[in-house]
Amino acid sequence: MKLSPLVVLLIVALAAPFGAYAKKGKGGKEPQATPIPLPAAADPVAALSPYIINLDQLLAFDRPAATAKQPLFTETPGLLLTLRQQFVAAAASAPPEKQSLYANAVKTVDLISAALDDRTKALMNLKSSQAVGTSSTLEQQSRKDNLAQGIRGDGIGKAEAVAVERGREKQQIKRADGRAGASGNAMTSMAVNQWTQRSTEWRQRIAASYSQVK
């Protein structure tokens, strides 16, 4: 049975999880995912429907573990490339009245691929910013190993000076860690919020394109 794009979009609206993260089952365990069928390209509406229905999970930063192991998620770029090639090949022999069908199908594939590329870049930027925060904290901590350098004298006087310096250094590190933690959390929150907005825009563009596959 051929599904219209509007029917599939209605399914997406009813089935998609609220927000960027899918809800977990009872006890915090991920629900077992039903295998996702991947229809052939002969029917572009049906062939694209698995990607449309699962678009929220595909674009989410944190994908449900069980679902993320499925080919639709682990092999997405290759599957989309193959699907695009099949649409192009089908368009070459299709009658004039079918040309717009395959053209819009190719456009939808390209939009999904671009959205996934954008997601990958956003994730890399997020991880890079987190790594910078960690590196800054490590640099602060490494200074503890060289506290005695530059302190003149020896014996009890030097030991007392080192102890005072260590105490001062601990306070500095504690304050720096607090600032780094707050800054890191703020950066993470900002990155997630920015991606939530961008992914919403991607979903709207993809849905609009898919609605023309008819």
% of the chain beyond a pLDDT of 90: 43
Q: What is the rounded average pLDDT of the residues 189-204?
A: 93
% of the chain beyond a pLDDT of 70: 57
Residue with tokens 């599939």, as numbered in its chain: 8
Mean pLDDT of the chain: 76
Tokens of 60: 């989410």
> Degrees (nearest 5) of the Cα angle 86, 89, 95?
120
| pTM, entire model | 0.64
Distance between first and last Cα of the chain: 14
Q: How far apart are CA 198 and CA 40, in angstroms?
A: 30
Q: What is the pLDDT of residues 91-142, one digit of tens each?
A: 999 999 999 999 999 999 999 999 999 999 999 988 887 665 555 444 554 4
Other CB atoms within 10 A of residue 153 CB:
10
Q: How far apart are CA 35 and CA 94, in angstroms?
A: 32
**pLDDT on residue 20:** 40
**pLDDT on residue 39:** 81
pLDDT band of 170, cuts 50, 70, 90 = low
Whether the Cβ atoms of residue 125 and residue 198 lie closer than 8 Å to each other:
no
**pLDDT on residue 168:** 67
| pLDDT above 90: residue 18 | no
Contacts of 30 by beta carbon, 8 Å cutoff, 6+ apart: 24, 64, 65, 66, 67
Q: What is the rounded average pLDDT of the residues 157-180?
A: 61
What is the three-class DSSP state of 75? coil
| pLDDT above 90: residue 88 | yes
pLDDT band of 182, cuts 50, 70, 90 = low
pLDDT band of 15, cuts 50, 70, 90 = very low
Helices (H), the chain: 5-15, 44-53, 55-59, 65-68, 71-74, 76-92, 99-142, 155-210
Tokens of 137: 């904290």
Domain extents in the chain: 5-23+32-210
Q: How far apart are CA 92 and CA 99, in angstroms?
A: 8
| pLDDT above 50: residue 25 | no
Q: What is the rounded average pLDDT of the residues 10-25?
A: 43
Q: What is the pLDDT of residues 36-72, one digit of tens each?
A: 778 888 899 999 999 999 999 999 998 888 787 889 9
**pLDDT on residue 150:** 53
